[in-house]
């Protein structure tokens, strides 16, 4: 989900190479940058990444590899731990040896969501996730040898249809529930990619763990705005359950970088003007 958006946004200002499992398939889906085969779950992933860095001379590596919570594989220990926990640290070691900077993306799901709104989780709050996905992502956070951005995202997927936008688009004209007490402070994939671009260009020495968020929004408000912007004409029924608040506090990130995070209206308007990748709208 994030990878193809990062390629699209970052290629405007940088020379971008992308790693994918199947370069031929990725080209057919519209990825128009140099592609390199890499399977983050494979035993040869670190060695393959090292060869790619040696060949390209890359100065920065953005790790968008990971199993998202909606996928069945994320509930199985071997793939979840390999991709979400082990590979980021393997990539960090390879990058350090090659003098490249690693930017890794983590998730708000390291927290349980039991926090009462309007409070938000800070970097110093103890992660208290109870599921394999959250724990695997927590273990994958790279702090010493790179930059980890803890955040959450929505966006069009390149091929699969497991995310919020694909699900919502599939309900066009129908009736859906909107969760009034589920709070979200993430970014669209395009907005996060733009933030990463600013970090690469203007903050080359920033390392450690930082949370990146926008103003919290309820899932009810979010799907209502998306429905309107995308012209889906859904009937949205408010639902009081579930109650979950994974809103993140990004005060430290904003203060140290000066990067402005777009509002939800800005991010949604941007998505409404972009075609779904790999297919027609």
Say what the pLDDT of residue 281 is. 31
CA 189/CA 234 separation, integer angstroms: 23
How many structural domains comprise the chain? 1
228-271: per-residue pLDDT in tens? 999 999 999 999 999 999 999 999 999 999 999 999 999 999 98
Task: With respect to residue 52, please indicate whether it lies within any of the assigned structural domains.
Answer: yes
DSSP states of the chain as a string? -HHHHHHHHHTTTS---EEES-HHHHHHTT--S-EEE--TTSTTHHHHHHHHHHHH--SEEEE-----TTSGGGGSHHHHIIIIIIHHHHHHHHHHHHTPEEEEEEEGGGS-SBPPTT--B-TTSPP---SHHHHHHHHT---SSSEEEEE-EE---SS---SHHHHHHTTTTSEEEEETTEEE--EEHHHHHHHHHHHHHH-TT--EEEE---S-EEHHHHHHHHHHHHT---EEEEE----EE--B--HHHHHHH-PPPPPHHHHHHHHHTSPPTTS--
CATH of the domain at 18: 3.40.50.720
Say what the pLDDT of residue 70 is. 81
Say what the pLDDT of residue 52 is. 98
Task: With respect to residue 221, please indicate whether it lies within any of the assigned structural domains.
Answer: no
Task: With respect to residue 51, please indicate whether it lies within any of the assigned structural domains.
Answer: yes
Say what the pLDDT of residue 176 is. 98
Task: With respect to residue 66, please indicate whether it lies within any of the assigned structural domains.
Answer: yes
Say what the pLDDT of residue 161 is. 75
Task: With respect to residue 266, please indicate whether it lies within any of the assigned structural domains.
Answer: yes
CA 169/CA 229 separation, integer angstroms: 11
Say what the pLDDT of residue 275 is. 61
Task: With respect to residue 234, please indicate whether it lies within any of the assigned structural domains.
Answer: no
Instruction: Give the burial class of 193: count Cβ atoms within 10 A of its Cβ; 0-12 exposed, 13-18 middle, 19 or more buried.
Output: buried
- The residue segments making up the domain with residue 208 are 2-160+186-216+246-272
Task: With respect to residue 31, please indicate whether it lies within any of the assigned structural domains.
Answer: yes
Task: With respect to residue 279, please indicate whether it lies within any of the assigned structural domains.
Answer: no
pLDDT in tens, the chain (281 residues): 899 999 999 999 999 999 999 999 999 999 999 999 999 999 999 999 999 999 999 999 999 999 988 888 888 999 999 999 999 999 999 999 999 999 999 999 999 999 999 999 999 999 999 999 999 999 999 999 899 999 999 999 987 777 899 999 999 999 999 999 999 999 999 999 999 999 999 999 999 999 999 999 999 999 999 999 999 999 999 999 999 999 999 999 999 999 999 999 999 999 878 766 654 33
């Amino acid at each position: 989900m994030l990878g193809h958006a990062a390629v699209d946004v970052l290629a405007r200002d940088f020379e971008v190479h992308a790693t994918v499992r199947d370069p031929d398939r990725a080209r057919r889906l519209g990825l128009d940058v140099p592609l390199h085969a890499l399977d983050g779950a494979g035993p040869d992933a670190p060695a393959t990444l090292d060869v790619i860095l040696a060949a390209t001379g890359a100065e920065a590596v953005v790790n968008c590899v990971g199993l998202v919570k909606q996928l069945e594989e994320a509930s199985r220990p071997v793939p979840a731990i390999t991709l979400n926990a082990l590979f980021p640290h393997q990539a960090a070691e390879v990058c350090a040896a090659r003098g490249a900077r690693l930017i890794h993306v983590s998730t708000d799901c390291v927290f349980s969501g039991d926090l009462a709104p309007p409070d938000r989780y800070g970097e110093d709050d103890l992660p208290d996730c109870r599921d394999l996905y959250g724990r695997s992502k927590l273990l994958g956070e790279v702090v010493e040898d790179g930059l980890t951005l803890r955040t959450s995202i929505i966006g069009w997927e390149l091929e699969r249809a497991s995310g919020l936008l694909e699900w919502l688009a599939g309900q066009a004209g129908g009736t859906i529930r909107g969760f009034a007490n589920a709070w979200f402070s993430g970014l669209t994939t395009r907005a996060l990619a733009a933030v990463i671009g600013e970090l690469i260009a203007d903050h080359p020495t920033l390392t450690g763990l930082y949370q990146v968020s926008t103003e919290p929004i309820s899932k009810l408000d979010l799907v209502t705005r998306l429905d309107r912007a995308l012209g889906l004409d859904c009937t949205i029924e408010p639902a009081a359950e579930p109650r979950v608040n994974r809103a993140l506090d990004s005060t430290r990130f904003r203060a140290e970088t000066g990067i402005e995070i777009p509002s939800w209206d800005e991010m949604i308007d941007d998505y409404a003007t972009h075609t779904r990748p790999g297919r027609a709208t």
